[in-house]
Amino acid sequence: MGQDESRPISPSIPPRQLKSRSIESVAHYILNKPVSKIVVLTGAGLSTSAGIPDFRSPVSGLYANLARLNLPYAEAVFDISYFRQNPEPFYTLAAELYPGKFRPTLAHSFIRLLADKGLLLKLFTQNIDCLEREAGVPGDLIVEAHGSFAEQSCIECKLPYDKDEIRKHVAAKTIPRCPSCDGLVKPEIVFFGEQLPAAFFANRMLPVEADLVIVMGTSLTVQPFAGLPQLAREDAVRVLINKEVVGGLGSRADDVVVLEDCDEGVRQLAKALGWLDELDVLWAETRPATEQRVEQPELTKDEKLEQEIDKLTKEVDETLNLSKWHDERVRGDVLLAVKQDTARRTAPMEVATVNETGIDAASAPGPKPHEDTEGSLGHVFPASKPPNTADGKP
């Protein structure tokens, strides 16, 4: 279990556990091995499609957009020494990142699906946003390697602090204090200068037990988290779903590299597993209650064809009905003309025009044919009708 070489494995070297180094083969492996222990490792890329910026992207990253907080350096917002002196910048940032403002992504729901199927041995995440929990992943299956907003405590006496109280402070951008010692309170996010949670060290060897390790949305640059994929056994399958190759993944016989964003990568895997409908249902459950539109599953090719046929049939029916109406209208106009001609023949001294109601159109009060009350043709050509100013409205 030494460090993997960084160069990719030669295509001429066949896989050992998989039929090929592809998503389809990973799906076959999961379903037929059968796989029962999957470890998932995630980073900030898992949450970017939820609208949460990652930390280190040069332009869009969190650190690149903290100038407005007047920090001595960007990372100071997560530095415990700086926090002791000036906690305001952190709580300004916390108001923007606090759980409840963002919806879990499709990739978060995929991890929930693994848990529901009893396949998830453990999720190790570098993220502090709690979106895994909001997606429904059980807390006992999550190791938040860098802490999270899930719990909070006094930095002096370590007394836990009420979650509802800290939420009020975060919303108001005020600084919570410990009711026991008046020390500063902060969420149990690991700041620079603090130790990783004990849960990380208690579980860090679990990748050794895994049949499959899935790595998603991480640069694997921060230790000791970055070393977790190398703990997987040589006969375990490793899958990387990421925008770029990282951490030596792709260097083993049973490594599969998917250079996609996390949501697209898990959609491909779920489709290959035959789980896509289940995944879409789970993700729909995370939609905020205030949104009324119901997420519709993607239509199959046959369903799309049937929908198109129904649309064409409706258009044909409407065309036929229009033709029928046109025929009836023409017959009605002809009949009216015959009646008017008969009236003229039986009353030769009359020169007035009789309208459909039998009233002399020339002498009747109101507008004449093809004339409205303003004397324009607005009733025939609506675009030419002048504005109605009778009621003072334009």
- Asked if residue 262 belongs to a known ligand binding site, the reply is no
User: Is cis: bond before 207, omega within 30 of 0?
Assistant: no
SS3 235: coil
- Asked if residue 130 belongs to a known ligand binding site, the reply is no
Task: Give me 349's structure tokens.
Answer: 């001294």
The whole-angstrom separation of Cα 24 and Cα 224 is 31
Q: How far lies 324's CA from each of 272, 335, 356, in Å? A: 51, 17, 22
E strand segments, 82-202:
120-125, 142-144, 147-154, 185-189
**Residue of 56, 110, 389, 66 lying closest to 244 (CA atoms):** 56
Catalytic residue among 28, 146, 169, 326: 146
- Asked if residue 154 belongs to a known ligand binding site, the reply is yes
Asked whether 215 and 241 are in contact (CB, 8 A), the reply is: yes
The whole-angstrom separation of Cα 15 and Cα 390 is 83
Please enumerate in sequence order all residues whose Cβ is within 8 A of that of 141, keeping only pairs 6 or more positions apart, or say none.
Answer: 115, 120, 121, 122, 123
**Residue of 48, 78, 73, 72 lying closest to 60 (CA atoms):** 48
Return the DSSP state at 206.
Answer: G
Tell me the sheet residues that pair with 241. Answer: 216, 258
Residue type, 386: P
Tell me the sheet residues that pair with 123. Answer: 40, 142
* 326: annotated active-site residue: no
Please enumerate in sequence order all residues whose Cβ is within 8 A of that of 70, keeping only pairs 6 or more positions apart, or say none.
Answer: 89
Binding-site positions: 154, 157, 178, 181
Catalytic annotation, residues = 146
Binding-site positions for Zn(2+): 154, 157, 178, 181
